[in-house]
A and B are shown apart, each in its own frame.
Chain A
Amino acid sequence: MKFRLGIDVGGTNTDGVLLDRNMNVVHSLKTPTTGDVETGIYNTINQLVTNAQADVENIEFAMLGTTQCTNAIVERKNLNKVAIIRIGAPAGTAIKPLAGVPDDLKAILGNYTYMVEGGHEFNGDEISSLNEDKIRLIAEEIKGSVDSIAVTSIFSPVSKSHETQTEEILREVLGDDISVSLSSEVGSMGLLERENATILNASIINVAKKTAEGFEKALNTKGIDAKVFFCQNDGTLMSKDYTLKYPILTVACGPTNSLRGASFLSDNKDAIIVDVGGTTTDIGVLTKGFPRQSSIAVELGGVRTNFRMPDIHSIGLGGGTIIHLEDDDQFKIGPDSVGHRIQEEALVFGGSTLTATDVAVALGKVTLGNPENVNHLNRDLLTAIYQRMTEMVEESIDKIKTSADNMPVALVGGGNVLFPDKLKGAAEVYKPENGGVANAIGSAISQISGEIEKIYAISPENREEILNSAKDLAINETVKAGADSENVEIVDIENVPLAYLPGNATRVKIKAAGDLAI
């Protein structure tokens, strides 16, 4: 039997799952995340393989979803010194690179910012030709002082030629050891946000390298020779090479994996997913099996960026949420939580704090711990609390829906048993088996994707022709990335006309995804 291994490293737990070729769950478990991450990953792999008695040689693929890169940015840990090159002068000089970036981060990145002549117009014409001599001078100047370089050219989503030319020149002078991040690979329209995302990407290259090597080492130690992939936050995979170049795309892959895992377990491609944790409940929407993306610029570590992120609505309600009782049968739910100390602090486990879990146990919704510990509580009050808890989830479901129609709802995460089998707004409520490790399953079942973003002149006559050729480009990208060409499908099409410009210039973004070519 052939297997695939999925690992999701979260803040508290490292989840692991072993799937067979038909994507059946062979075994799954949770172990505590360790300080060095690698040990936690090793422990998870070790226990999985041992418990499942799986032959390590039969593990074909190993997928890792990790928060390491996000944490590095937020905590400002182990970040690289970055040279920042913006191409587009004379345009672009009215706002300097790193404008609006917090000072502590600026200090870590170093002060290596450059503006160079070049860049493109919205229609692909050059603003000016690329000043290659200046790139050479910059390369000489930064030699030995920075770890990586972020290159951003104006309108590179339309034409990335100046970015790729710049990379070639930098490589001529600096060799292959230095990493070069190109903005056209990271974000979409919006120079400052895309440049910021590219800078953050460049800053976490070494963290990504360490994480990737740690994963490989953990696999090797166990004698596993699998093809390794890393999870992106759009629910698809990247190769190790690509991850080391564009690690920023792993940010927020946790919630995405959870959504994707829930989709798979409940067999729903269009559904609302409710992931009930210990402290919060995260609600997201799946469209064609992929998470809906947030439409607003996202801040990461205090930096405004525009790379894609899943649209997640979080509420402060989880299994460990504290219920505050007040006078006259009044109560307040959270937002504080006992978190991972639930095993010590919740009443049913012999503790002294009334939690959401206790309420569900007392009302017989779940069997957990010692129900006698909650027998003394007033049932009418408990019923009112439970009803309010349920309403909180129902309200969030309603807020995130895109139409009034009832939609399938899948409840996953460790606390999914807390909530009822019927919810307002839900066509059906699923609580899939193995829902507790939905995120690891999400990482194991991930597909490969490809995306294009270009500006086209679209008229009613050529619309179909243009969209079809753009779709083909997106499919080609996907196959290049490692997908099986037989089953690639278009998963997202977005076209927004550019206002105030005659000629129907329209920004088209198309994404395709498919299963791994085996």
Chain B
Amino acid sequence: MRLIGKEEIENIAVGAALLGTGGGGDPFVGKMMALQAVEEHGPVKLLDITEIDDEDVIVPSAMMGAPTVLVEKIPSGNEALEAFRSLEKVLNKEIKATMPIEAGGVNSLLPVALAASTGLPIVDGDGMGRAFPELQMVTFYLNGVSTTPMVLADEKGNSTVLNTVDGKWAEKIARSATMVMGGSVMNAIYPMTGKQVKDASIYRTLTLEEKIGRTIQEAKGNKKNPIEEVLQLLDGMTLFSGKVTDIERRTDGGFVRGTATIEGLDYNKGENGYLEFQNENLLLKTDHDVLCMTPDLICVLDTETALPMTTEGLRYGARATVIGIPADEKWRTEKGIEVAGPRYFGYDYDFIPVETLNERQGE
């Protein structure tokens, strides 16, 4: 157990934006909420997964809805609390800790805000190791943990309890409810025992995010190339470098899907990269090769500052370096690929790990 405060939150925000693989929303709002909560209530206890009791009830906390709504309709700060109280009533048990459901963007830091204001500890792990667009795309689901009972709560004090037959139904019903409740809600979801958390989570996510943030910051201070330092930390590789020359977006079943065309610069001069996304970056290819595919992580970094760019923030003329990071082994299983592999998102490819794709490149 260790305490995390303002400095850790600043670094986690940068790491969260990177692991968000373009989605997960701008962590700025999550960061400011966490900072205010820590300022008011003091630092937060960060628990390593190995420190949890097998019998304890742990509940991840997350925002659901449109990141574009969240940046305008800032939460009241009571939503997550309300969701937790309602869920405790349903479970008839006391919740002992919270944790992030995904490693990306705003959802890495909202549980920190909740932990600060409730005094609950936060578990150092998550259910994705990255960001994904749908509720069932978590390692908890891969391990058979039930998505529900879950609670959604809005800033007005409304909350709703869902009991669904599976994660996909939870996703569908919750998304409609979110719309009615104003486009952005907080939820308490995937209630687990400590044992389930140990089996089904990705470990030490917040610590990794903090390291990413610190690495980028220190690299700048030491005049080192921040992108290279980050790649070393994450076992990642540079996939493509260039500038964004075209973005095509379309709404499809409540999601923004699209393709960004990146015209190669430097060693990629003369070729184009095509980045396919559904909120998160899902596939990167050139005219001839596929360079990386989901569930492996595809992150777009500003070539000069190494700061991550979201898919919503991609614009004409942005100078970008796309990097690939191998996903956690939990995602590279048959079920992991079925839930979040290229075919689930409608791409006609069998999953090949990014390191294999890149060896081919090198040949």
A residues bordering B, Cβ < 8 Å?
88-96, 99-100, 119, 121-123, 125, 127-128, 154-155, 189-192, 285, 292, 295-296, 304, 311, 398-404, 496-507
Contact = CB atoms under 8 A, between A and B. Distances in A.
- The 3 A-B pairs at the shortest CB distance, nearest first, are namely A94-B77, A295-B315, A497-B251
A398 B242 CA distance: 10
A99 B72 contact: no
Given A90-B157, A95-B36, A122-B183, A295 B73 contact: no
B245 A402 contact: yes
Contacts of A121: 73, 182-183
A122 B155 contact: no
B68 A189 contact: yes
A90 B279 contact: no
Given A128-B156, A292-B317, A499 B279 contact: yes
Contacts of A99: 32, 35-36
Contacts of B69: 122, 498, 501
* Count class of interface residues, chain B: 35 or more
Given A121-B182, A121-B183, A501 B65 contact: yes
Contact of A295 (B176, B255, B318): B318
Interface in B69-110: 69, 71-78
Contacts of A128: 156
A296 to B, nearest CB: 7
B319 A506 contact: no
Question: Which among A88, A128, A497 has the greatest number of chain B C-beta atoms within 10 A?
Answer: A497
Given A498-B68, A504-B251, A93 B279 contact: no
A403 B155 CA distance: 45
Given A91-B75, A94-B36, 6 more contacts: A94-B37, A96-B36, A123-B183, A128-B156, A285-B317, A501-B183
A506 B251 contact: yes
A87 B330 CA distance: 45
A154 B68 contact: no
Contacts of A399: 243, 265, 319
A116 to B, nearest CB: 13
A398 B303 CA distance: 14
B278 to A, nearest CB: 9
B113 interface: yes
B311 to A, nearest CB: 9
Contacts of A93: 74, 76-77
B256 interface: yes
A191 B313 contact: no
Contact of A191 (B73, B265, B279): B73
A504 B65 CA distance: 14
Contacts of A504: 251
B170 to A, nearest CB: 15
Interface of B: 28-29, 32-33, 35-37, 64-69, 71-78, 113, 133, 155-157, 175-176, 178-179, 182-183, 243, 245, 249-251, 253-256, 263, 265, 279, 312-313, 315-319
A204 to B, nearest CB: 24
B32 A100 contact: yes
21 contacts: A90-B155, A90-B157, A91-B76, A91-B155, A92-B73, A92-B74, A121-B183, A123-B183, A127-B156, A191-B74, A292-B316, A399-B243, A402-B243, A498-B66, A499-B68, A499-B255, A499-B256, A500-B254, A500-B255, A502-B176, A502-B179
A502 B254 contact: yes
Contacts of A497: 249-251, 256
Question: Which among B78, B183, B279 has the greatest number of chain A C-beta atoms within 10 A?
Answer: B183
A502 B312 CA distance: 17
B106 to A, nearest CB: 12
Contacts of A189: 68, 71-72
Nearest to A155: B72
A304 to B, nearest CB: 8
Given A91-B73, A92-B73, A502-B176, A496 B183 contact: no
B317 A95 contact: no
Nearest to A402: B316
Contact of B179 (A100, A402, A496, A501): A501
Contacts of B33: 94-95
Question: Which among B77, B157, B178, B253 has the greatest number of chain A C-beta atoms within 10 A?
Answer: B77
B78 A496 contact: no
B263 A296 contact: no
B105 to A, nearest CB: 12
Contacts of A507: 68
B74 A94 contact: yes
Contact of A89 (B76, B113, B183): B76
A401 B64 CA distance: 37
Nearest to B156: A90
Contact of A500 (B29, B265, B279, B319): B279
Nearest to B133: A500
